[in-house]
Structure 1
Amino acid sequence: MTAQNAKISLTGVGKTFPVRGGGVFTALSGIDLDVAEGEFLVVVGPSGCGKSTLLDLIGGLARPTAGRVAIDGVEVTGPALDRAVVFQQYALLPWRTALRNVEFGLEAKGLRRRERTEIARHHLDLVGLSGFEDRYPHELSGGMKQRVAIARSLAHDPGVLLMDEPFAALDAQTRDTLQDELLRIWATTGKTVVFITHGIDEAVYLGGRVAVLTSRPGRVKEIVDIDLGPRDEREDLRSSPAFAEHRHRVWSLLKDELPKDEVRAAQRPAVPAPREEAAARG
Protein backbone atom coordinates (compact mmCIF):
# COMPACT_ATOMS: atom_id res chain seq x y z
CA MET A 1 0.00 0.00 0.00
CA THR A 2 1.23 3.46 -0.90
CA ALA A 3 0.05 6.94 0.01
CA GLN A 4 -1.47 7.20 -3.48
CA ASN A 5 -3.96 4.35 -2.93
CA ALA A 6 -4.46 4.65 0.84
CA LYS A 7 -7.81 5.71 2.26
CA ILE A 8 -6.03 7.72 4.97
CA SER A 9 -2.47 8.98 4.58
CA LEU A 10 -0.33 10.87 7.09
CA THR A 11 3.04 12.06 5.81
CA GLY A 12 5.63 13.66 8.09
CA VAL A 13 2.87 14.81 10.44
CA GLY A 14 3.78 16.82 13.53
CA LYS A 15 1.67 18.76 16.01
CA THR A 16 2.73 21.30 18.62
CA PHE A 17 0.72 23.38 21.09
CA PRO A 18 1.73 26.72 22.59
CA VAL A 19 2.53 26.64 26.30
CA ARG A 20 1.71 29.39 28.77
CA GLY A 21 4.72 31.57 29.36
CA GLY A 22 6.20 30.79 25.97
CA GLY A 23 7.55 27.74 24.25
CA VAL A 24 5.74 24.82 22.68
CA PHE A 25 4.53 21.37 23.66
CA THR A 26 5.25 18.74 21.00
CA ALA A 27 2.53 16.09 20.90
CA LEU A 28 3.41 14.34 17.63
CA SER A 29 6.50 14.28 15.44
CA GLY A 30 7.26 12.69 12.07
CA ILE A 31 4.16 10.51 11.81
CA ASP A 32 4.06 8.46 8.59
CA LEU A 33 1.01 6.23 8.46
CA ASP A 34 -1.23 4.82 5.72
CA VAL A 35 -4.60 3.16 6.33
CA ALA A 36 -6.21 1.08 3.59
CA GLU A 37 -9.83 1.26 2.49
CA GLY A 38 -11.93 -0.92 4.81
CA GLU A 39 -9.09 -1.49 7.29
CA PHE A 40 -9.54 -1.65 11.07
CA LEU A 41 -6.45 0.04 12.54
CA VAL A 42 -5.93 0.34 16.29
CA VAL A 43 -3.53 2.86 17.83
CA VAL A 44 -1.99 2.29 21.26
CA GLY A 45 0.62 4.19 23.21
CA PRO A 46 1.48 5.57 26.64
CA SER A 47 -0.55 8.38 28.18
CA GLY A 48 0.35 11.75 26.68
CA CYS A 49 1.83 10.32 23.46
CA GLY A 50 -0.66 12.12 21.23
CA LYS A 51 -3.15 9.36 20.34
CA SER A 52 -6.19 11.64 20.63
CA THR A 53 -4.35 14.43 18.81
CA LEU A 54 -3.70 12.00 15.96
CA LEU A 55 -7.42 11.28 15.73
CA ASP A 56 -8.23 15.00 15.84
CA LEU A 57 -5.92 15.60 12.87
CA ILE A 58 -7.55 12.86 10.80
CA GLY A 59 -10.98 14.15 11.74
CA GLY A 60 -10.07 17.70 10.79
CA LEU A 61 -10.71 18.95 14.32
CA ALA A 62 -7.13 20.26 14.39
CA ARG A 63 -4.50 21.13 11.79
CA PRO A 64 -0.97 19.70 11.78
CA THR A 65 1.92 22.08 12.34
CA ALA A 66 4.04 19.92 10.02
CA GLY A 67 3.31 17.40 7.30
CA ARG A 68 0.08 16.46 5.56
CA VAL A 69 -3.07 14.48 6.37
CA ALA A 70 -5.14 13.27 3.41
CA ILE A 71 -8.33 11.28 2.85
CA ASP A 72 -8.59 9.65 -0.58
CA GLY A 73 -5.65 11.80 -1.65
CA VAL A 74 -7.33 15.08 -0.69
CA GLU A 75 -5.75 17.12 2.10
CA VAL A 76 -7.80 17.37 5.28
CA THR A 77 -8.49 21.02 6.09
CA GLY A 78 -11.41 20.64 8.50
CA PRO A 79 -14.31 18.40 9.57
CA ALA A 80 -16.40 16.81 6.81
CA LEU A 81 -19.22 14.31 6.44
CA ASP A 82 -16.86 11.66 5.06
CA ARG A 83 -15.53 11.22 8.62
CA ALA A 84 -17.37 10.55 11.88
CA VAL A 85 -15.96 10.59 15.40
CA VAL A 86 -17.13 8.53 18.39
CA PHE A 87 -15.77 9.75 21.73
CA GLN A 88 -15.62 8.12 25.15
CA GLN A 89 -18.39 10.48 26.27
CA TYR A 90 -21.66 9.71 24.51
CA ALA A 91 -22.68 13.37 24.00
CA LEU A 92 -26.34 12.46 23.49
CA LEU A 93 -28.98 15.16 23.71
CA PRO A 94 -30.95 14.30 26.88
CA TRP A 95 -34.23 15.79 25.61
CA ARG A 96 -34.21 13.60 22.49
CA THR A 97 -35.10 9.93 22.22
CA ALA A 98 -32.60 7.43 20.83
CA LEU A 99 -34.26 7.72 17.43
CA ARG A 100 -34.22 11.51 17.46
CA ASN A 101 -30.57 11.53 18.59
CA VAL A 102 -29.63 9.44 15.56
CA GLU A 103 -31.72 11.70 13.34
CA PHE A 104 -29.95 14.80 14.63
CA GLY A 105 -26.98 14.54 12.29
CA LEU A 106 -29.29 13.98 9.32
CA GLU A 107 -31.32 17.14 9.84
CA ALA A 108 -28.59 19.36 8.40
CA LYS A 109 -28.72 17.35 5.16
CA GLY A 110 -32.26 18.54 4.50
CA LEU A 111 -33.80 15.07 4.39
CA ARG A 112 -37.52 14.69 4.87
CA ARG A 113 -38.70 13.47 8.25
CA ARG A 114 -39.81 10.07 6.95
CA GLU A 115 -36.46 9.46 5.25
CA ARG A 116 -34.55 10.52 8.37
CA THR A 117 -36.64 8.18 10.49
CA GLU A 118 -36.08 5.24 8.16
CA ILE A 119 -32.33 5.78 8.18
CA ALA A 120 -32.24 6.21 11.96
CA ARG A 121 -34.30 3.06 12.56
CA HIS A 122 -32.03 1.08 10.25
CA HIS A 123 -28.91 2.13 12.12
CA LEU A 124 -30.42 1.52 15.56
CA ASP A 125 -31.24 -1.97 14.35
CA LEU A 126 -27.66 -2.30 13.05
CA VAL A 127 -26.28 -1.63 16.55
CA GLY A 128 -28.79 -3.95 18.20
CA LEU A 129 -31.22 -1.35 19.59
CA SER A 130 -34.37 -2.18 17.66
CA GLY A 131 -37.24 -1.63 20.08
CA PHE A 132 -35.47 1.12 22.02
CA GLU A 133 -36.17 3.94 19.57
CA ASP A 134 -38.40 5.87 22.00
CA ARG A 135 -36.13 5.61 25.04
CA TYR A 136 -34.43 8.74 26.35
CA PRO A 137 -30.73 8.66 27.30
CA HIS A 138 -31.48 8.49 31.03
CA GLU A 139 -33.44 5.29 30.35
CA LEU A 140 -30.48 3.58 28.67
CA SER A 141 -27.44 1.82 30.09
CA GLY A 142 -23.94 3.07 29.32
CA GLY A 143 -23.48 0.41 26.65
CA MET A 144 -26.79 1.34 25.03
CA LYS A 145 -25.86 5.01 25.01
CA GLN A 146 -22.63 4.21 23.22
CA ARG A 147 -24.55 2.12 20.69
CA VAL A 148 -26.77 5.15 20.00
CA ALA A 149 -23.64 7.29 19.55
CA ILE A 150 -22.23 4.77 17.07
CA ALA A 151 -25.55 4.61 15.20
CA ARG A 152 -25.62 8.41 15.01
CA SER A 153 -22.09 8.47 13.58
CA LEU A 154 -22.90 5.82 10.98
CA ALA A 155 -26.24 7.30 9.94
CA HIS A 156 -24.80 9.87 7.54
CA ASP A 157 -22.71 7.11 5.90
CA PRO A 158 -19.14 8.31 6.48
CA GLY A 159 -16.31 6.50 4.78
CA VAL A 160 -14.12 6.74 7.89
CA LEU A 161 -15.10 6.02 11.50
CA LEU A 162 -12.77 7.49 14.14
CA MET A 163 -13.15 6.11 17.67
CA ASP A 164 -11.42 7.66 20.71
CA GLU A 165 -11.50 5.08 23.53
CA PRO A 166 -15.25 4.62 23.08
CA PHE A 167 -15.55 1.70 25.51
CA ALA A 168 -13.15 2.85 28.23
CA ALA A 169 -15.87 3.99 30.66
CA LEU A 170 -17.82 0.73 30.45
CA ASP A 171 -17.63 -2.35 32.65
CA ALA A 172 -15.58 -5.28 31.36
CA GLN A 173 -18.52 -7.46 30.31
CA THR A 174 -20.23 -4.65 28.40
CA ARG A 175 -16.94 -3.68 26.80
CA ASP A 176 -16.33 -7.23 25.53
CA THR A 177 -19.87 -7.38 24.14
CA LEU A 178 -19.51 -4.07 22.32
CA GLN A 179 -16.16 -5.11 20.88
CA ASP A 180 -17.91 -8.06 19.24
CA GLU A 181 -20.74 -5.79 18.08
CA LEU A 182 -18.29 -3.33 16.59
CA LEU A 183 -16.52 -6.07 14.63
CA ARG A 184 -19.89 -7.24 13.33
CA ILE A 185 -20.83 -3.68 12.29
CA TRP A 186 -17.43 -3.19 10.64
CA ALA A 187 -17.82 -6.44 8.69
CA THR A 188 -21.33 -5.41 7.65
CA THR A 189 -20.56 -1.84 6.60
CA GLY A 190 -16.97 -2.10 5.32
CA LYS A 191 -16.04 1.22 6.95
CA THR A 192 -12.44 2.27 7.46
CA VAL A 193 -11.93 2.40 11.24
CA VAL A 194 -9.20 4.06 13.30
CA PHE A 195 -9.62 3.09 16.95
CA ILE A 196 -7.71 4.59 19.91
CA THR A 197 -7.30 2.57 23.10
CA HIS A 198 -5.12 2.15 26.19
CA GLY A 199 -6.00 -1.55 26.38
CA ILE A 200 -3.61 -4.04 24.80
CA ASP A 201 -6.17 -6.84 24.84
CA GLU A 202 -8.71 -4.58 23.14
CA ALA A 203 -6.16 -3.53 20.53
CA VAL A 204 -5.23 -7.10 19.63
CA TYR A 205 -8.84 -8.32 19.58
CA LEU A 206 -10.13 -5.55 17.33
CA GLY A 207 -7.28 -4.57 15.07
CA GLY A 208 -6.19 -5.97 11.75
CA ARG A 209 -3.08 -3.94 12.48
CA VAL A 210 -1.95 -2.25 15.71
CA ALA A 211 0.16 0.91 15.50
CA VAL A 212 2.29 1.35 18.63
CA LEU A 213 3.30 4.94 19.38
CA THR A 214 6.35 6.03 21.34
CA SER A 215 6.23 8.19 24.44
CA ARG A 216 5.95 11.94 23.87
CA PRO A 217 6.44 13.20 21.29
CA GLY A 218 4.45 10.44 19.65
CA ARG A 219 6.03 8.64 16.72
CA VAL A 220 5.08 5.34 15.09
CA LYS A 221 7.37 2.83 16.77
CA GLU A 222 6.09 -0.22 14.92
CA ILE A 223 2.94 -1.52 13.24
CA VAL A 224 2.03 -5.07 14.26
CA ASP A 225 -0.01 -7.22 11.87
CA ILE A 226 -2.70 -9.18 13.70
CA ASP A 227 -3.91 -12.51 12.34
CA LEU A 228 -6.49 -14.27 14.50
CA GLY A 229 -8.41 -15.84 11.64
CA PRO A 230 -12.19 -15.52 11.30
CA ARG A 231 -14.10 -14.46 14.39
CA ASP A 232 -16.20 -17.32 15.79
CA GLU A 233 -18.53 -16.59 18.71
CA ARG A 234 -18.14 -20.20 19.86
CA GLU A 235 -14.38 -19.84 20.26
CA ASP A 236 -12.68 -17.72 22.90
CA LEU A 237 -10.02 -16.03 20.79
CA ARG A 238 -8.70 -14.13 23.79
CA SER A 239 -7.49 -17.43 25.24
CA SER A 240 -5.86 -18.69 22.05
CA PRO A 241 -2.09 -19.07 21.60
CA ALA A 242 -2.18 -16.67 18.63
CA PHE A 243 -3.83 -13.97 20.76
CA ALA A 244 -1.23 -14.44 23.50
CA GLU A 245 1.58 -14.17 20.96
CA HIS A 246 0.25 -10.94 19.45
CA ARG A 247 -0.46 -9.50 22.87
CA HIS A 248 3.08 -10.22 24.00
CA ARG A 249 4.49 -8.51 20.92
CA VAL A 250 2.44 -5.34 21.44
CA TRP A 251 3.18 -5.32 25.16
CA SER A 252 6.94 -5.72 24.54
CA LEU A 253 6.90 -2.67 22.26
CA LEU A 254 4.79 -0.61 24.63
CA LYS A 255 6.54 -1.56 27.85
CA ASP A 256 9.73 0.28 26.96
CA GLU A 257 7.75 3.50 26.46
CA LEU A 258 6.06 3.51 29.87
CA PRO A 259 7.28 4.97 33.17
CA LYS A 260 7.90 2.21 35.69
CA ASP A 261 4.83 3.13 37.74
CA GLU A 262 2.61 2.69 34.67
CA VAL A 263 3.92 -0.69 33.54
CA ARG A 264 1.69 -2.70 35.87
CA ALA A 265 -1.35 -0.53 35.14
CA ALA A 266 -0.89 -0.96 31.39
CA GLN A 267 -1.20 -4.73 31.75
CA ARG A 268 -4.77 -4.37 33.00
CA PRO A 269 -7.81 -3.84 30.72
CA ALA A 270 -8.57 -0.31 29.52
CA VAL A 271 -9.88 2.07 32.19
CA PRO A 272 -11.28 5.58 31.92
CA ALA A 273 -8.53 8.12 31.30
CA PRO A 274 -8.59 11.89 30.91
CA ARG A 275 -8.12 13.30 27.45
CA GLU A 276 -4.38 13.28 27.14
CA GLU A 277 -3.74 16.65 25.56
CA ALA A 278 -5.82 18.67 28.04
CA ALA A 279 -2.75 19.94 29.88
CA ALA A 280 -1.11 21.00 26.66
CA ARG A 281 -4.14 22.98 25.64
CA GLY A 282 -4.33 24.75 29.00
Structure 2
Amino acid sequence: MTAKIVFENVGKVFRARGTTVTALQEINLDVKDGEFLVIVGPSGCGKSTLLDLLGGLTEPSSGRILVDGKPVTGPGLDRGVVFQQYALLPWRTAQGNVEFGLEAKHVPRRERAAKAREYLDLVGLSGFHDRYPHELSGGMKQRVAIARSLAFDPDVLLMDEPFAALDAQTRDGLQDELLRIQELTGKTVVFITHGIEEAVYLGRRVAVMTSRPGRIKQVVDVPIFSQSEDIRSDPQFAHYRHEIWTLLRDEVDKARHEELEATRV
Protein backbone atom coordinates (compact mmCIF):
# COMPACT_ATOMS: atom_id res chain seq x y z
CA MET A 1 0.00 0.00 0.00
CA THR A 2 1.55 3.32 -1.08
CA ALA A 3 2.07 6.29 1.23
CA LYS A 4 -0.69 8.86 0.86
CA ILE A 5 0.82 11.27 3.38
CA VAL A 6 4.47 11.73 4.31
CA PHE A 7 5.87 13.84 7.16
CA GLU A 8 9.59 14.46 6.58
CA ASN A 9 11.52 15.86 9.59
CA VAL A 10 8.66 18.22 10.39
CA GLY A 11 9.15 20.77 13.16
CA LYS A 12 7.05 23.67 14.39
CA VAL A 13 8.27 26.56 16.52
CA PHE A 14 6.01 29.28 17.91
CA ARG A 15 7.35 32.69 18.91
CA ALA A 16 5.32 34.97 21.15
CA ARG A 17 6.13 37.71 23.65
CA GLY A 18 9.84 37.17 23.33
CA THR A 19 9.74 33.44 24.03
CA THR A 20 10.19 30.49 21.72
CA VAL A 21 8.21 27.27 22.12
CA THR A 22 9.09 24.15 20.14
CA ALA A 23 5.76 22.39 19.63
CA LEU A 24 6.91 19.64 17.24
CA GLN A 25 10.35 18.25 16.51
CA GLU A 26 11.56 15.87 13.78
CA ILE A 27 8.22 14.29 12.97
CA ASN A 28 8.70 11.44 10.51
CA LEU A 29 5.55 9.51 9.70
CA ASP A 30 3.89 7.87 6.70
CA VAL A 31 0.15 7.33 6.31
CA LYS A 32 -0.93 4.72 3.77
CA ASP A 33 -3.63 5.27 1.19
CA GLY A 34 -6.99 4.22 2.67
CA GLU A 35 -5.54 3.83 6.18
CA PHE A 36 -7.21 4.80 9.46
CA LEU A 37 -4.38 6.27 11.55
CA VAL A 38 -4.99 7.50 15.09
CA ILE A 39 -2.63 9.88 16.91
CA VAL A 40 -2.54 9.96 20.71
CA GLY A 41 -0.35 11.87 23.14
CA PRO A 42 -0.39 13.88 26.38
CA SER A 43 -2.04 17.29 26.53
CA GLY A 44 0.06 19.99 24.90
CA CYS A 45 2.21 17.58 22.87
CA GLY A 46 1.27 19.15 19.52
CA LYS A 47 -1.35 16.73 18.19
CA SER A 48 -3.66 19.48 16.96
CA THR A 49 -0.71 21.44 15.59
CA LEU A 50 0.27 18.39 13.57
CA LEU A 51 -3.24 18.21 12.10
CA ASP A 52 -3.23 21.95 11.37
CA LEU A 53 0.02 21.51 9.43
CA LEU A 54 -1.44 18.64 7.43
CA GLY A 55 -4.58 20.67 6.77
CA GLY A 56 -2.44 23.54 5.49
CA LEU A 57 -3.80 25.90 8.17
CA THR A 58 -0.25 26.75 9.27
CA GLU A 59 3.24 26.12 7.89
CA PRO A 60 6.01 23.97 9.36
CA SER A 61 9.13 25.71 10.68
CA SER A 62 11.23 22.88 9.27
CA GLY A 63 10.76 19.82 7.09
CA ARG A 64 7.85 19.25 4.76
CA ILE A 65 4.55 17.38 4.41
CA LEU A 66 3.62 15.60 1.21
CA VAL A 67 0.18 14.44 0.07
CA ASP A 68 0.30 12.27 -3.05
CA GLY A 69 3.93 13.31 -3.44
CA LYS A 70 3.12 17.05 -3.53
CA PRO A 71 4.08 19.48 -0.74
CA VAL A 72 1.25 20.89 1.35
CA THR A 73 1.28 24.66 0.83
CA GLY A 74 -2.15 25.56 2.19
CA PRO A 75 -5.72 24.27 2.61
CA GLY A 76 -7.12 22.20 -0.22
CA LEU A 77 -10.28 20.36 -1.25
CA ASP A 78 -8.30 17.11 -1.15
CA ARG A 79 -8.41 17.34 2.68
CA GLY A 80 -11.60 17.61 4.73
CA VAL A 81 -11.45 18.67 8.39
CA VAL A 82 -13.80 17.79 11.26
CA PHE A 83 -13.16 19.61 14.54
CA GLN A 84 -14.36 18.95 18.08
CA GLN A 85 -16.62 21.99 17.79
CA TYR A 86 -19.13 21.43 15.01
CA ALA A 87 -18.71 24.91 13.44
CA LEU A 88 -22.11 24.68 11.77
CA LEU A 89 -23.74 27.80 10.35
CA PRO A 90 -26.75 28.38 12.65
CA TRP A 91 -28.84 30.10 9.93
CA ARG A 92 -28.54 27.10 7.59
CA THR A 93 -30.38 23.80 7.80
CA ALA A 94 -28.48 20.49 7.99
CA GLN A 95 -28.73 20.26 4.21
CA GLY A 96 -27.63 23.88 3.80
CA ASN A 97 -24.57 23.24 5.95
CA VAL A 98 -23.60 20.20 3.89
CA GLU A 99 -24.12 22.15 0.67
CA PHE A 100 -21.81 24.92 1.90
CA GLY A 101 -18.59 23.16 0.86
CA LEU A 102 -20.10 22.16 -2.47
CA GLU A 103 -20.80 25.81 -3.26
CA ALA A 104 -17.05 26.48 -3.09
CA LYS A 105 -16.62 23.86 -5.83
CA HIS A 106 -19.35 25.56 -7.91
CA VAL A 107 -21.46 22.40 -7.99
CA PRO A 108 -24.83 23.15 -9.69
CA ARG A 109 -27.72 23.71 -7.26
CA ARG A 110 -29.74 20.60 -8.12
CA GLU A 111 -26.69 18.33 -7.98
CA ARG A 112 -25.63 20.03 -4.74
CA ALA A 113 -28.98 19.29 -3.10
CA ALA A 114 -28.92 15.66 -4.21
CA LYS A 115 -25.37 15.16 -2.96
CA ALA A 116 -26.15 16.79 0.39
CA ARG A 117 -29.12 14.42 0.88
CA GLU A 118 -26.94 11.47 -0.10
CA TYR A 119 -24.33 12.24 2.55
CA LEU A 120 -26.88 13.06 5.23
CA ASP A 121 -28.35 9.62 4.54
CA LEU A 122 -24.86 8.12 4.72
CA VAL A 123 -24.30 9.46 8.25
CA GLY A 124 -27.74 8.32 9.41
CA LEU A 125 -29.62 11.63 9.21
CA SER A 126 -32.24 10.69 6.66
CA GLY A 127 -35.30 12.83 7.33
CA PHE A 128 -33.38 15.56 9.20
CA HIS A 129 -32.25 17.58 6.17
CA ASP A 130 -34.50 20.55 6.99
CA ARG A 131 -33.54 20.84 10.69
CA TYR A 132 -31.47 23.77 11.96
CA PRO A 133 -28.47 23.18 14.26
CA HIS A 134 -30.40 24.31 17.37
CA GLU A 135 -32.93 21.54 16.65
CA LEU A 136 -30.25 18.81 16.62
CA SER A 137 -28.49 16.94 19.42
CA GLY A 138 -24.70 17.12 19.80
CA GLY A 139 -24.24 13.77 18.10
CA MET A 140 -26.48 14.80 15.20
CA LYS A 141 -24.56 18.07 14.77
CA GLN A 142 -21.32 16.12 14.55
CA ARG A 143 -22.91 13.85 11.93
CA VAL A 144 -23.75 16.95 9.89
CA ALA A 145 -20.14 18.15 10.24
CA ILE A 146 -18.87 14.76 9.01
CA ALA A 147 -21.36 14.77 6.10
CA ARG A 148 -20.22 18.28 5.17
CA SER A 149 -16.58 17.17 5.05
CA LEU A 150 -17.37 14.03 3.06
CA ALA A 151 -19.69 15.72 0.55
CA PHE A 152 -16.98 17.46 -1.46
CA ASP A 153 -15.22 14.09 -1.70
CA PRO A 154 -11.80 14.78 -0.12
CA ASP A 155 -9.16 12.05 -0.37
CA VAL A 156 -8.16 12.59 3.25
CA LEU A 157 -10.37 13.17 6.31
CA LEU A 158 -8.69 14.98 9.22
CA MET A 159 -10.48 14.65 12.55
CA ASP A 160 -9.44 16.55 15.67
CA GLU A 161 -11.08 14.90 18.72
CA PRO A 162 -14.48 15.04 16.99
CA PHE A 163 -16.31 12.98 19.63
CA ALA A 164 -14.68 14.41 22.79
CA ALA A 165 -17.65 16.57 23.80
CA LEU A 166 -20.23 13.80 23.39
CA ASP A 167 -21.66 11.43 25.98
CA ALA A 168 -20.29 7.88 26.04
CA GLN A 169 -23.27 6.22 24.36
CA THR A 170 -23.37 8.74 21.50
CA ARG A 171 -19.60 8.54 21.11
CA ASP A 172 -19.66 4.73 20.82
CA GLY A 173 -22.40 4.92 18.20
CA LEU A 174 -20.52 7.50 16.13
CA GLN A 175 -17.31 5.47 16.32
CA ASP A 176 -19.15 2.54 14.73
CA GLU A 177 -20.69 4.87 12.15
CA LEU A 178 -17.30 6.33 11.26
CA LEU A 179 -15.75 2.88 10.80
CA ARG A 180 -18.65 1.90 8.54
CA ILE A 181 -18.28 5.07 6.46
CA GLN A 182 -14.50 4.69 6.18
CA GLU A 183 -14.87 1.09 5.04
CA LEU A 184 -17.55 2.10 2.54
CA THR A 185 -15.68 5.10 1.08
CA GLY A 186 -12.05 3.98 1.45
CA LYS A 187 -11.02 7.42 2.70
CA THR A 188 -7.66 7.97 4.36
CA VAL A 189 -8.42 9.10 7.92
CA VAL A 190 -6.07 10.83 10.39
CA PHE A 191 -7.84 10.97 13.74
CA ILE A 192 -6.65 12.68 16.94
CA THR A 193 -7.87 11.61 20.36
CA HIS A 194 -6.99 11.66 24.04
CA GLY A 195 -8.81 8.37 24.54
CA ILE A 196 -6.69 5.23 24.44
CA GLU A 197 -9.74 2.97 24.12
CA GLU A 198 -11.04 5.08 21.23
CA ALA A 199 -7.61 4.87 19.56
CA VAL A 200 -7.50 1.07 19.75
CA TYR A 201 -11.11 0.71 18.63
CA LEU A 202 -10.76 2.94 15.56
CA GLY A 203 -7.16 2.78 14.41
CA ARG A 204 -5.39 0.18 12.32
CA ARG A 205 -2.24 1.94 13.46
CA VAL A 206 -1.83 4.18 16.50
CA ALA A 207 0.97 6.76 16.58
CA VAL A 208 1.99 7.63 20.14
CA MET A 209 3.54 11.07 20.63
CA THR A 210 5.97 12.24 23.31
CA SER A 211 5.41 15.19 25.62
CA ARG A 212 6.45 18.57 24.20
CA PRO A 213 8.32 18.96 21.97
CA GLY A 214 6.11 16.41 20.27
CA ARG A 215 7.84 13.57 18.43
CA ILE A 216 6.62 10.17 17.30
CA LYS A 217 7.57 7.81 20.11
CA GLN A 218 6.23 4.63 18.51
CA VAL A 219 3.64 3.46 16.01
CA VAL A 220 1.60 0.46 17.15
CA ASP A 221 -0.08 -1.84 14.62
CA VAL A 222 -3.55 -2.83 15.81
CA PRO A 223 -5.29 -5.89 14.33
CA ILE A 224 -8.85 -5.99 13.06
CA PHE A 225 -10.78 -7.57 15.92
CA SER A 226 -13.41 -10.20 15.36
CA GLN A 227 -16.89 -8.72 15.45
CA SER A 228 -17.82 -10.23 18.79
CA GLU A 229 -20.67 -8.92 20.88
CA ASP A 230 -18.34 -6.51 22.72
CA ILE A 231 -14.93 -5.97 21.13
CA ARG A 232 -13.83 -3.81 24.06
CA SER A 233 -14.03 -6.81 26.41
CA ASP A 234 -11.79 -8.92 24.15
CA PRO A 235 -8.51 -9.82 25.96
CA GLN A 236 -6.55 -8.84 22.83
CA PHE A 237 -8.22 -5.42 22.87
CA ALA A 238 -7.15 -5.03 26.51
CA HIS A 239 -3.59 -6.02 25.54
CA TYR A 240 -3.28 -3.20 22.99
CA ARG A 241 -4.96 -0.71 25.28
CA HIS A 242 -2.39 -1.56 27.98
CA GLU A 243 0.52 -1.37 25.49
CA ILE A 244 -0.45 2.13 24.36
CA TRP A 245 -1.10 3.32 27.92
CA THR A 246 2.35 2.04 28.95
CA LEU A 247 3.92 4.06 26.12
CA LEU A 248 1.92 7.14 27.12
CA ARG A 249 2.30 6.94 30.89
CA ASP A 250 5.87 8.29 31.04
CA GLU A 251 5.00 11.07 28.62
CA VAL A 252 1.96 12.11 30.67
CA ASP A 253 4.13 12.18 33.81
CA LYS A 254 6.74 14.31 32.02
CA ALA A 255 4.09 16.74 30.83
CA ARG A 256 2.68 17.11 34.36
CA HIS A 257 6.16 17.64 35.80
CA GLU A 258 6.87 20.37 33.23
CA GLU A 259 3.59 22.09 34.05
CA LEU A 260 4.46 22.07 37.76
CA GLU A 261 7.93 23.45 37.07
CA ALA A 262 6.47 26.21 34.93
CA THR A 263 4.15 27.36 37.74
CA ARG A 264 7.11 27.66 40.10
CA VAL A 265 9.05 29.96 37.80
TM, length-normalised to structure 1: 0.89
Give the Cα separation in 2 of the matches to 1:9 and 1:189.
21
1:33 aligned residue = 29
- Report SS of the residue matched to 1:41: strand
Task: Mark the CA change 1:260 to 1:220 in structure 2 (over 3 Å): closer, same or farther.
Answer: closer
Structure (1 or 2) with the greater helix fraction:
2
Pick one of 208, 211, 214 that aligns with 2:207. 211
Matched, 1:251 2:245: yes
RMSD: 1.4
Give the Cα separation in 2 of the matches to 1:91 and 1:253.
33
1:164 aligned residue = 160
2:128 aligned residue = 132
Give the Cα separation in 1 of the matches to 2:102 and 2:254.
47
Give the Cα separation in 2 of the matches to 1:89 and 1:229.
30
- Report SS of the residue matched to 2:77: coil
Give the Cα separation in 2 of the matches to 1:229 and 1:173.
20
8 Å contact from structure 2 (residues 80, 150) kept in 1: yes
Work out the number of aligned pairs and report it.
257
Residue identity matched to 1:152: R
**Gaps in structure 2 of 5+ consecutive residues:** 258-265
Give the Cα separation in 2 of the matches to 1:113 and 1:261.
50
1:237 aligned residue = 231
2:263 aligned residue = none
Give the Cα separation in 2 of the matches to 1:203 and 1:155.
25
1:14-48 per-position Cα deviation (integer Å, ceiling 9, x unaligned): 0010021x131100000000000000000000000
Residue identity matched to 1:212: V
Deviation at 1:229, TM superposition (A): 2.8
Deviation at 1:259, TM superposition (A): 2.6
TM, length-normalised to structure 2: 0.94
1:7 aligned residue = 4
Matched, 1:94 2:90: yes
Deviation at 1:262, TM superposition (A): 6.4
2:262 aligned residue = none
1:206-239 per-position Cα deviation (integer Å, ceiling 9, x unaligned): 0000000000000000000001335x3x520000
Map of 1:1-282 to 2, 5 A cutoff? 5-20=2-17, 22-230=18-226, 232=227, 235-259=229-253
8 Å contact from structure 1 (residues 228, 242) kept in 2: no
8 Å contact from structure 2 (residues 210, 248) kept in 1: yes
**Gaps in structure 1 of 5+ consecutive residues:** 264-282
Deviation at 1:131, TM superposition (A): 0.5
Give the Cα separation in 2 of the matches to 1:245 and 1:102.
39
Percent identical among aligned pairs is 72
